[in-house]
Structure 1
Amino acid sequence: MRHLNSISKDKFLKEPMNFNKYTNKDLLKYAVGSNLYMNALMDILKKIDKLKNIGTITICFEDSLREIDIEAGEDNVIASLNKLYKRILIGKSNMDKLPLIFIRVRNITQFINFSYKLSKENLELITGFIFPKFNSNNGLNYLEHLVDIEKEFSEKVYGMPILESEEVLYKENRIKEILKLKTLIDEYKGSILNIRVGGTDFSSKFGLRRSRGRSIYDIGVISNCLSDIVNIFGRCNEEYIISAPVWEYFSNDINSKEVKGLIKEIEMDKENGFCGKTIIHPSQGIYVNSMYSVSYEDYIDATNIIRLKKEGGVFKGYKNNKMNEVSPHYNWANRICNMAKVYGVLNENISYYDLFREVDYRSED
């Protein structure tokens, strides 16, 4: 799989790389990108066949499913994975063109029960599991069972905890809880692909919902919590990638308030240290992944900073419009170069909007 696969090659100085679940984790953690959630009862193969510009899907057993539908959802997912594996064996599907597939479990009990139904072939198609409402009370159970699955099947699978519980949100508990989670997650760092955050769940605790004209960063009580999560998990020496909360509005009209709001929020996600975003409609994928592609200007500056690491010093940036200090800007440059591999580098004078205009959004429904 590669991101932005329907975009013309002439838009890129360097095209996005190909990746799959076995790609080196140092790059794969950036590649989650726009992560499309879908209900476990859907026609999963049909959805996969229609995907464009999206490299990651998550099949959800939690909020999108009623309790009475869990067993039917599990049966549907396993049947879909079996069909997909057979298609690969007979050459009708290509493993290298599949999206990263994650399973968002409902709770620890459902995670354990569902995992007992999986086969080695199923696990070869699953990149990992997402753990909702992950906290210091249930987290160890999730991570221990994840490692048990890896050992039993001799197959790499990743975990992605979602920080969205009251323990993380409420101020009187927050720092103590996040530090507990950090200690726990550090012990299983090799199995953690992304840290995810639940903006909708956080907002619900206060009866809030951002409008189309506002971003999650305009809701002070939520923005404050997100900042603390980034402060503890987002430090460069920690090597964690934190994915941004879902944007709840969608439209096929690039000039709509829904799309303009999404673009504004992605810009803020990037400025605040997030990489990638949960999405709930296929049309949102092009915006997320395009905006994580690297501009020509940033790429030239970043590569020059890395080239001069040993020498250090200060120099003018590309276009003579900024100061590049090698030492303080090195971590930024390294992040830019990793994203350049995964999302590509745009040619000079090409903008994100040039990528947006290439897509037929009606085909993304």
Structure 2
Amino acid sequence: MNSHDAPERITVLGATGSVGQNTLDLIARMPERFAVEAVTANSNVDALADIAIRFDARFAAVADPACYEPLKAALSGTGVEAAAGPGALVEAALRPADRIMAAIVGAAGLAPTLAAAERGATILLANKECLVTAGPLFMRTAKAGGARVLPVDSEHSAIFQALDPALSRCVERVTLTASGGPFRTWSMERLAAVTPQEAVRHPNWSMGAKISVDSATLMNKGLELIEAHHLFDIESERLDVLVHPESIIHGFVAYQDGSVVAQMAEPDMRTPIAYSLAWPERIPAPTARLDLAALGRLTFEAPDSQRFPALRLTRYALETGGGTATVLNAANEIAVASFLTKRIGFPDIAKIVENGLDRSATERVGEPYSLDDALALDEWARDVALSMIPERLEQVS
């Protein structure tokens, strides 16, 4: 733990996304506590350069090699080193930072986050794909490298706070809550006509387009079940999802004596981010304070797997094991991207994912044991999913 005689240095992988922006907001409020080592983005040169200059970062990298010259020009004379390409993201992860916020969306975040795990960094994990695409590999790598993995998702942060490691054998059930998304009460007929604009309007959280669609399908919650399995070494039978529209209770742990320990907060990502930045301490966060009297009541309901089959699909992937979750994630990314560009309809997202899982069962795909294995399986699953898109075009055009 840093003694705070000098600021802790933080690297933000995915600095221009919503988690990255919220992380930087907290860092900016405590310059005596935190400083920025490196920042990365996919291709948003202007935003990344502005961040690097404002936070006096030492290194800035974009994933897109074509963006190198514009980034270099934008940072000319600032003292910030510029780099580009997938290797540059790994280089950012290897910089001497005390903590690394792993917030790159998608499989692109796998290589740099694995590199951080190998060097034994403290990883603030907001990238789902590390655990969904290569969970066993990532956790083995983190353990071998002596890395500490602190969950950033609000639900996993809640479980991290409620779960006493000394009492793990006494846990009966770990439950993640879900808002239910914007279509919680919609009929199957209405779901068939959902537009991308409707799907990205989450009722409680401000998030990027992809994760907002995942929330609307409940795929996001299913992926979180897989993450929780790896993070907390909890088998599928003891993992559950409960729809909680107010998003005040983010997760809870039920123990064998009948006790239930829950974590509560207003829905603001800066709360779990602040917890991961300061753990095992706590720092102030500029979030609304919870007023239960004003809320009046909290409501809960079971998820509907018929209208939202993503939970069933992710549960299947979790219980099947091998490379099934890798296929699920890749197929979902392709399907969501196709939906956002209006190439397929909202219900087709789950259909494409299910077809991808059927193919993986036929092909008997195995567990990825290396980064190359994971990336190769990810690419195969994307190709499989892409091959299904034209079959859907006539149905949604």
- TM-score (structure 1 length as normaliser): 0.31
Looking at both structures, which has the greater relative contact order when contacts are Cα pairs under 8 Å and sequence separation is at least 6? 1
